[in-house]
């Protein structure tokens, strides 16, 4: 009985090269979308963290019946820097602190956060940017009274974007905003959302 030639199993070199070429093409086409998705996720994560901090500051003011301030600072967001005066409407760190009734007030540290948290960058930096404004002027802090409203009658809008790309529709980043009204209402919104959309600012 004649034995047939044994069948070989596996891929030829040409088949393997075609597969590698297809995978490389898909990776090249998908890279910009993945980069935009990653940057949007970072912006959203920081905006959500900031939103939670503003909510915490207001809740603490009501709970303790004292003024509580959320301040944007260039100092490290630690208890050692609770008395910081290095504030900026574009600073990358924020501190929540309770103010006593003394003059000048004595501050008690509640919490500190940074834009760098969750950035996943080896150098510890962040591509997420923020800018805090009130009536068109930079405002580096907001203070909640014991009633939960803003103590100086100031509304606050904090915009979150990216240093790597422009906000949509001119760029690939979906920028976000956290708004605090004079009455102390806090909400996160999308400046690009159309009127009538629940995400609109």
User: What is the reported pLDDT for 5?
Assistant: 62
Distance CA 179, CA 124 (A): 28
What pLDDT is attached to residue 170? 86
The overall pTM is greater than 0.85: no
| pLDDT tens figures, 65-84 | 999 999 999 999 999 999 99
Number of domains in the chain: 1
Its sign, for the CA torsion 167, 157, 132, 83, is: negative
State the DSSP code for 65: T
Domain membership of residue 175 as a residue range: 22-189
Total residue count of the chain as it appears in this document: 201
Q: Can you tell me whether residue 189 is helix, strand or coil?
A: strand
**Would you list the DSSP string of 129-170?**
EEEEEETTEE--EEEE-TTSSBTTS--EEEEEEESSSPBTTT
User: In what order do the strands lie in the sheet containing 93-99?
Assistant: 107-114, 93-99, 68-73, 141-144
Backbone φ and ψ for 100, nearest 5 degrees, come out as -75, 175
Compute φ and ψ for 32, nearest 5 degrees: -60, -40
Distance CA 201, CA 197 (A): 9
Residue 35 lies in a domain: yes
Residue 197: inside a domain, yes or no?
no
**From CA 174, how far away is CA 151, in angstroms rounded?**
31
Question: Does residue 195 lie within any of the structural domains?
Answer: no
Angle ∠(201,98,78) on CA atoms, nearest 5? 90
**Residue 81: CATH number of its domain:** 3.55.40.10
| Summary mean pLDDT of the chain | 86
For tokens 């790597």, name the residue: 164
Parts of the chain with a pLDDT under 50: none
pLDDT at 118: 58
At 27, which helix (H) or strand (E)? helix 13-64
CB neighbours (10 Å) of residue 165?
A: 17
């Amino acid at each position: 009985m004649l034995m047939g030639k044994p069948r070989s199993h596996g891929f030829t070199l040409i088949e393997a090269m075609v597969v590698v070429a297809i995978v490389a093409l898909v990776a090249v086409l998908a890279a910009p979308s993945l980069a935009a998705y990653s940057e949007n996720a970072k912006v959203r994560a920081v905006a959500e963290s900031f939103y939670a901090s503003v909510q915490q500051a207001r809740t603490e003011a009501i709970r303790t019946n004292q003024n509580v301030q959320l301040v944007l600072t260039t100092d490290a967001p630690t208890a050692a820097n609770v008395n910081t005066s290095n504030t900026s409407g574009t600073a990358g760190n924020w501190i929540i602190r309770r103010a006593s009734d003394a003059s000048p007030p004595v501050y008690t540290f509640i919490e500190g956060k940074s834009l760098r948290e969750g950035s996943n960058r080896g150098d510890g930096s962040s591509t997420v940017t923020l800018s805090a404004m009130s009536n068109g002027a930079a405002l580096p802090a907001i203070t909640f009274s014991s009633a939960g409203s803003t103590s100086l009658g100031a509304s606050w809008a904090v915009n979150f974007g990216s240093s790597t790309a422009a906000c949509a529709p001119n760029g690939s980043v979906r920028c976000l905003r956290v708004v605090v009204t004079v009455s102390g209402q806090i909400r996160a919104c999308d400046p690009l959302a159309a009127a009538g959309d629940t995400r609109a600012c």
